[in-house]
Amino acid sequence: MKVLPAVALGLTLILAPAMRAHDLQDNRATLVLRDNSHVSLTLYIAYADALHAALAPQQPIAEFMMVYSAMKPELLQKELLRAQAKFQAETRLYQASGKELPLANWVWPDAKQVQAMLQQRIMQAMVDPAGHHEEPLEIRADANSREEITAVRIQFPEEFQRVLVVSYRPNQLWVEPKSWSPAIRF
Amino acid sequence: MPLAWTNPPAGTQSFALLLSTIPTPGTVKYDWVLYNIPPSTTSLAKDSFLVGTTGLGDDGPGLTYDPPCSQGPGAKVYTWTLYALSGTPTFAVPATQVTGTIVSSTIASLTLASASINLSYSRVQATAPGSGTNCVYVRNSTTVAKSGTTSVNCDGTYAYVSSLAMTTDQTMNGITSTNLQVPTTQNFLGANGWKIPTSPILAQSPTSVASGPIGVAINGIPIFNPCVQNGNCTAASGDTKGEGQLDICNGHAGRADDYHYHAAPLCLMAGQSTNYWNTHPVGWLLDGFGVFGYNNADGSTPSRDSCGGTTISGAQVPSGYPYTYAYHVINTFPYITNNCISGVPSPDLPNQGSKYHPMRQPPVTPFNDTNMTLTTDPTDGYQVLQFTSAIAFTTNETGSDSYPNAPGTYQIRYKQVTGSALTTLLAANKNATATACWNFQFVDSTGKTTQPSVSYCR
């Protein structure tokens, strides 16, 4: 096996997240309150970085990416479950009263999606370092309350780093057949 | 070079800064007006912004503190005067109308102390890049914008179009698909302004602009290609406008909350007659050529080449426009350019992501990993990135579970694809703008490939 002299002493592998304007890898959460009692949470985070921080923080991220991108999907799924359990436990939602709103119905990207993302990122780093593009992975959960929700506070796992939270409360009403709705105000 | 100061008088509650010149005896021109500077401030870095409140300079509202850079010939004396104030000034006019003269008179009763420095600067006409014909044309083109604030400086190679990427138009109205973003300011200021080549030349072959910013409108709002973030769109798939993602101005805020246009900036153009834009640019693409209205200057229909640009001549050339190539807007896909630009692009095209506000940028993790080597396998020509793990990654787990990431040697093997296999890959729609592909194999610590090969094209 011939060793390439330029790189034999140490490979510089830059695993930069996607950075085109449409692809900015903001760690982002969207909170939507519906019917005064239901909060849905949608998360877009730098998932590879979060997994690295949760599963193998002692290892350089390049080594983490290499191992996990090559891992058998069924084994990766096992690892993901461990990380997800941590992320779920440390994503906490509280009402203004201080009462916790348990988040449920978590939907996480599956191992196949995660591994494709890891592979995409490492392939880009190797042959296309200027061409970052990374499909965001979506995480969802929701919470219900018997009490009217007027305000919430949220905390994320440390592995998510800083998260930009967008929150809103949509206006909803039913419009009956052949009837005009009331004025819909914005 | 930053502007710095020390030893403010006791009781200083805020600072104000005025940068002025005396163009003719008896007159004062305010180049830079800044007030409400926090009392803890001791310096203003080059290109600093959002420190204090900017007022209205005599050449328009300045957006950032910039060292003096005379755009014209002749000697000029610039005077910076910093005022330490006993309070924060209040004005009888809206913030957008606070001129240097108003600040100067209003703060007179609040001034505890002041300090000034003068800088004399002269430049001969021949070496003044800011007074070059092409630079002046770009700068003047931005002055007609009624819905945004820009400033333009030149360095002889580029016109730097500075802005906060905010418009006074009613943005985000009319979007029919989901968009939860809120336009926020971006720091396209000073050296981070959009670099528009002032000596544009047509490239030997077009440059793909599959996604991201491709230019800037004269109101300082970036212009993107028509596509959603995956790029490589067609009228049938991935067209932002077709998918209802654009507001009534043909813009929207992206995931960085960065407002930008994907098609003709209709609200900006509404400030003038439709024909006006046939002779005045609505924006500039990153190859240095202007974007005009729907028609050539003489009213004829642009021929539009494969990138959407047009070689113009004679009466087709807008008066004063220094070039014979231009882009035009249309109301149908691809609206401005067809996923490519014809001229040699400025460095801002490949570096587009780095221009966005640092707050929005994710942590970048460059590193040197001496545990990895890259070699070539002589048996099949594959390059082999190899990493040997002496320990299991997860050492904090106990019990009967076996470690999935056991110690061992991991490899990523890859090789460039050629011949008919390459042709097949490039024929796929998702690789429409790619020119090269690689096959990747992922090998785990047992020496086995864990899944089928994966192709990557760029």
Distance from CA of B343 to the nearest CA of A (A): 20
CB proximity A183 to B under 8 Å: no
What are the residue ranges of helices labelled H in B270-403? 276-279
Contact B180 A30 (CB under 8 A): yes
Report if residue A70 sits inside a domain: yes
**Domain-embedded: residue A4:** no
User: What average pLDDT does this structure show over B90-96?
Assistant: 79
Ordered structural domains, chain B, with CATH: 3-124 (3.90.280.10), 130-360 (no CATH), 372-457 (no CATH)
**Domain range for A127:** 21-168
Instruction: Provide the pLDDT for residue B180.
Output: 62
Two tokens, residue B445: 């610590």
Identify the residue among A14, A65, A67, A132 best suited for mutation to test binding to B, counting B beta carbons within 10 A and taking the highest: A67
Q: Does A133 reside within a domain?
A: yes
Q: What is the pLDDT of residue B298?
A: 96
- 3-state secondary structure labels for all residues of A33-90: EECCCEEEEEEECCHHHHHHHHHCCCCCHHHHHHHHHHCCHHHHHHHHHHHHHHHHHH
Share of chain B above pLDDT 70, in %: 83
Three-state SS at B106: helix
Q: Which residues of B368-395 are buried (b: 16+ CB within 10 A; e: fewer)?
A: ebebbbbbeeeeeebbbbbbebeebbbe
Q: Identify which of A20, A73, A161 has the shortest CB distance to residue B211.
A: A20
Q: What is the pLDDT of residue A101?
A: 94
A114 assigned to some structural domain: yes
What average pLDDT is seen over chain B?
83
Token pair, residue B339, equals: 């996923």
Q: Is residue B393 predicted with pLDDT exceeding 70? A: no
The arithmetic mean of pLDDT across residues B245-258, rounded, is 84
Domains held by chain A: number: 1
User: How far B151 CA sits from the closest chain A CA (Å)?
Assistant: 22
Task: Give yes or no for residue B179 having a pLDDT over 60.
Answer: yes
- Report yes or no: B212 at the A interface, CB cutoff 8 Å: yes
Is A89 within a domain? yes
Parallel/antiparallel/unpaired status of strands B251-253 and B111-123: unpaired
User: Which residues from B are below 8 Å from A61, CB to CB?
Assistant: 365, 367
Q: State the average pLDDT over residues B417-426.
A: 88
Q: Give the pLDDT of chain A (186 residues) as one tens digit per residue.
A: 333 333 333 344 444 443 334 444 568 899 999 888 999 999 988 888 899 999 888 888 888 888 888 888 888 898 899 999 999 999 999 998 889 999 999 999 999 999 998 988 888 777 766 555 566 688 999 999 988 999 999 999 999 988 888 888 888 788 999 999 988 887
ipTM value greater than 0.90: no
The structure tokens 């005379």 sit at B70
* Range name among A98-112, B114-128, B184-198, B407-421 with the lowest pLDDT average: B114-128
User: Does residue B348 sit at the A interface (CB-CB below 8 Å)?
Assistant: no
pLDDT at A132: 52
Q: Is residue A185 part of a domain?
A: no
Q: How many CB pairs under 8 A join A and B?
A: 205
Q: What is the pLDDT of residue B130?
A: 67
d(C-alpha B384, C-alpha B367), whole Å: 19
Strands (DSSP E) found in B362-453: 368-369, 372-376, 383-389, 408-416, 437-443
Residue A50, pLDDT score = 92
Any domain includes A110: yes
Residue from the list B367, B387, B450 with its beta carbon closest to the beta carbon of A66: B387
Closest CA to B201 of B309, B103, B330, B331: B309
Proportion of chain B above pLDDT 90, given as a percent: 37
Which parts of B320-401 are beta strand (E)?
Answer: 325-328, 340-343, 368-369, 372-376, 383-389
In a domain, A131, yes or no: yes
Decide if B255 touches A, using CB distance below 8 A: yes
Chain B interface disruption, residue of A7, A9, A11, A120, most B CBs within 10 A: A11
| Mean pLDDT of the region B332-337 | 93
Q: How far is CA A102 from the centre of its chain?
A: 18
Within the 87-146 window of chain A, which residues sit less than 8 Å (CB to CB) from chain B?
Answer: 115, 119-120, 122-124, 126-128, 130-133
Residues of B in contact with A10 (CB under 8 A): 368-370, 372
